Amino acid sequence: AQELAQRFLDQKPTKIMTVATTGLVIALPMGKYLQVPVVYARKERNVVMADTYSASYSSKTVGKNQQLLVSKSHVDEYDRILVVDDFLSSGSSQEALLRIISDADAKAVGVGVLLEKVYDSGRQSLSGFDVPIQSLCRVASVEGGVIQLVEEEGFDRME
């Protein structure tokens, strides 16, 4: 979380936005490191959510369209919001969060993810939002139970 958070220090985010519950695993420690609140989008309306921003997206995980909801009281036009999630695959959930940020007249300052499936279209589908996209680990392929990572600069092998 610290490594990913450091990549966005120059963007000076005032909040992190993620999807409940999957994105919280990385968003919460990043919020702690950046010293900013974490706002999460729900997939279902909750009793106390009167006025919300909403955006639909196509979920590959459940195989149908889903809705993301964020209470209007959690976002305002002065916010600089970093979108954080566990996976970047098709980019549809991150795109929905970016649309919510736009609807709130706030500013999106980036997208940070733990794992990016580079063989999917996520990065390309988010290119129109003109925000930096960072991933900690890039997956080149998954075949026959073998996960192949994109070779990048990293730690030397421990002897």
* Helix, strand, coil content of the chain in percent (nearest 5): 25, 40, 35
pLDDT values of the chain reduced to their tens digit, one per residue, 159 residues: 999 999 999 999 999 999 998 899 999 999 999 999 999 999 887 766 779 999 999 876 667 788 999 999 999 999 999 999 999 999 999 999 999 999 999 999 999 999 999 999 999 999 999 999 999 999 999 999 999 999 877 655 545
Give the pLDDT score at 154.
62
Give the pLDDT score at 156.
57
Give the pLDDT score at 58.
84
DSSP string, 55-101: EEEEETTTTEEEEEEEEGGG--TT-EEEEEEEEESS-HHHHHHHHHH
- Note whether 63 and 93 are within 8 A (CB): no
Closest to 15 measured CA to CA, from 54, 88, 71, 68: 71
Both structure tokens of 27: 């968003």
Give the pLDDT score at 8.
97
Please tell me the pTM assigned to this model: 0.91
- Note whether 84 and 30 are within 8 A (CB): yes
Q: What is the dihedral of CA 79, 82, 83, 89, to 10 degrees?
A: 150
